[in-house]
Amino acid sequence: MPHAYKLYINGKWVNSESGETFTKSNPATLEKIGEFQKGNEKDVDKAVDAAEDAFDSWSETPAPKRGEILFKAGQLLKENKEELAKTITTEMGKVLVESRGDVQEAIDMTFLMAGEGRRFFGKTTTSELKNKFAMAIRRPLGVVGLITPWNFPIAIPSWKIMPALICGNTVVFKPSSDTPLCAIKFVELLEKAGVPKGVVNLVTGPGSTTGMSLVKNKKVRAISFTGHRDTGEEILKIAGIKKVSLELGGKNPIIIMDDADLNLAVDGVIWGGYGTTGQRCTATSRVIIHEKIKNKFEKMLVERVKKLKLGNGLDKGVDIGPLVNQAAQNKSKSYVDIGLKEGAKLLIGGHIPKIKGFFFEPTLFSDCSINMRIAQEEIFGPIVSLIEAKNLENAIEIANSVEYGLSSAIYTNNIRNAFIAIEKLEAGLTYVNASTIGSEVHLPFGGVKQSGTTREGGWTAIEEFSELKTVYFDYSGRLQKAQIDN
């Protein structure tokens, strides 16, 4: 029998009020990993109440002291990096080296936010009146609901939980049902680090019930969600008057100009398009290639794709692990069929291999047009579309032709091309001579258009998880009237 795991509410590991559980399997081997609680609205309400009860004490704890607890959590993440990485690979499939990077991102974010406990900056300014002082200070929001995806099951929770905690908020954490064990391991380390009871609460279960109960709860002051665009739209409709942060994916382009280092560009496309089996919100799903080098680049890229090895992410020499589940596998296959019907040219891949697990061949289409669905819709699988461009202006037009605007990249040795791309590409991130993935924790992360509303990471994470209070201190000893007395 697989091990049975519990919810974490008010400092205790407990069963769900529903009395129901669900199982999770390894996507590479299909072996059962564990049995997890199917949380419901009652569980969410209990978790929110616990967070509300813990808020005063936690928010009144000086931010540097909160930072000390986060620093301990960072040390524990560092000490347990290999175990956590293996849990990630076992639970969602990506290769071990990438899982180690997932954990390292959480370590970096935790130490960064620990330090922010001594940098909780506001602003002072002058008053228009004599003997009057004016400033703005940062205050916590209250109880925050954090809903995270499965593709970065340690990193993304850290991007939300750590800034939320350092700002003095208390947390109800709802992870993806595809990676509940990673969430449990993460919370266990927070508990060990000394996070007080009620400050962090964990409820596993379906997004449609557990997640939406969290969104609807009137005691929850803010929601931070990373996931599918349709879910983000639903959250906005039902959240009410809450602060809502959304990161909703992308259809990210790499532009390759005729003056680019093609070997470097191939490296970038392989890493961006097929790393994490294409299951990143910043994955490279479109390659916009200058017409002068299209044929040469295609041949180079196909040769590299041929060498990619599928397999269990825990095994040595494996480049690409499985997709997270059968639905993702079927979705990738359906988009290959769509691409072929639309007239795209399949250069390599496109099939479900005849091996155990939810694997899919790394796939490359050429001769794509901007109106094709494979060039417009987020697939979240190892499928890359090549689109030809006449010049930089045309390439940027193609890049901006989608509803999303998360990440983008350009390969060029012409500084003018680079700066025009930085200015004109409609995206929250632009890389020059690097792939569309590789964000660092001390810089803002997020997109424009339908890629979301948030800028988590770096100093902007503090802004997302706090609010400003303006303070006026009049020491004149008499009634002064702003604007009127001025």
> Alpha-carbon distance 12 to 38, whole Å?
17
- Residues 91-101 have pLDDT tens digits of 999 999 999 99
Q: 238 and 264 share a domain?
A: no
Tokens 């009620």 map to which residue? 198
Q: Are 88 and 150 in contact (CB under 8 A)?
A: no
Q: How far apart are CA 254 and CA 98, in angstroms?
A: 21
Asked whether residue 440 is domain-assigned, the answer is no
The predicted model gives 6-35 an average pLDDT of: 97
385-402 confidence digits (pLDDT tens): 999 999 999 999 999 999
Q: What is the DSSP letter of 28?
A: T
Q: Do 338 and 211 share a domain, yes or no?
A: no
> Is residue 284 located within the same domain as residue 199?
no
CATH number at residue 19: 3.40.605.10
CA distance from start to end of the chain: 76
Q: Is the pLDDT of residue 486 over 90?
A: no
Q: Are residues 334 and 314 in the same domain?
A: yes
Kindly report the pTM of this predicted structure: 0.97
Q: What is the pLDDT of residue 44?
A: 98
CA dist 286 → 98, 257, 393, 408 (Å): 22, 14, 16, 10
pLDDT band for 2, please (50, 70, 90 cuts).
confident
Catalytic residue among 91, 98, 116, 247: 247
Q: 440-475: per-residue pLDDT in tens?
A: 999 999 999 999 998 999 999 999 999 999 999 999
Residue 241 buriedness (CB in 10 A; 0-12 / 13-18 / 19+): exposed
Please say if the pLDDT value at position 47 is more than 90. Answer: yes
Does residue 485 register a pLDDT over 90? no
Per DSSP, the three-state class of 159 is helix
Domain contains 401: yes
**Do 234 and 304 share a domain, yes or no?**
no
Q: 239 and 346 share a domain?
A: no
- Model confidence at 1, pLDDT cuts 50, 70, 90, reads confident
Domain that holds residue 411: 252-432
Q: Note whether 186 and 161 are same-domain residues.
A: yes
Same domain, 118 and 261: no
Residue range 333-350: average pLDDT? 98
Task: Extract the tokens encoding 439.
Answer: 């964000």
What is the rounded average pLDDT of the residues 248-266? Answer: 98
Into how many domains does the chain fold? 2
| Residue 388 falls in the annotated catalytic set | no
At residue 337 the predicted structure's pLDDT band, cuts being 50, 70 and 90, is: very high
For residue range 72-83, list pLDDT tens digits in order: 999 999 999 999
For residues 235 and 244, the answer to whether their CB atoms sit within 8 Å is yes
Instruction: Please state, as a whole number, how many other Cβ atoms lie within 10 Å of the Cβ of residue 470.
Output: 11
Catalytic pick among 281, 298, 361, 426: 281
Across the range 13-28, mean pLDDT stands at 97
Q: How many CB atoms neighbour CB 15 within 10 A?
A: 14
pLDDT above 90 for 417: yes
Question: What's 339's domain CATH number?
Answer: 3.40.309.10
Mean pLDDT across the chain = 97
| pLDDT digit string, tens, across residues 262-302 | 999 999 999 999 999 999 999 999 999 999 999 999 999 99
Q: Is residue 446 part of a domain?
A: no
Does residue 167 have an active-site annotation? no
- R_g of the chain, CA atoms, integer Å: 24
Dihedral-angle region of residue 466 (phi above 0 means left; psi in -120 to 50 means alpha; beta otherwise): beta
Provide mean pLDDT across the span 187-214.
Answer: 97
217 and 93 part of one domain: yes
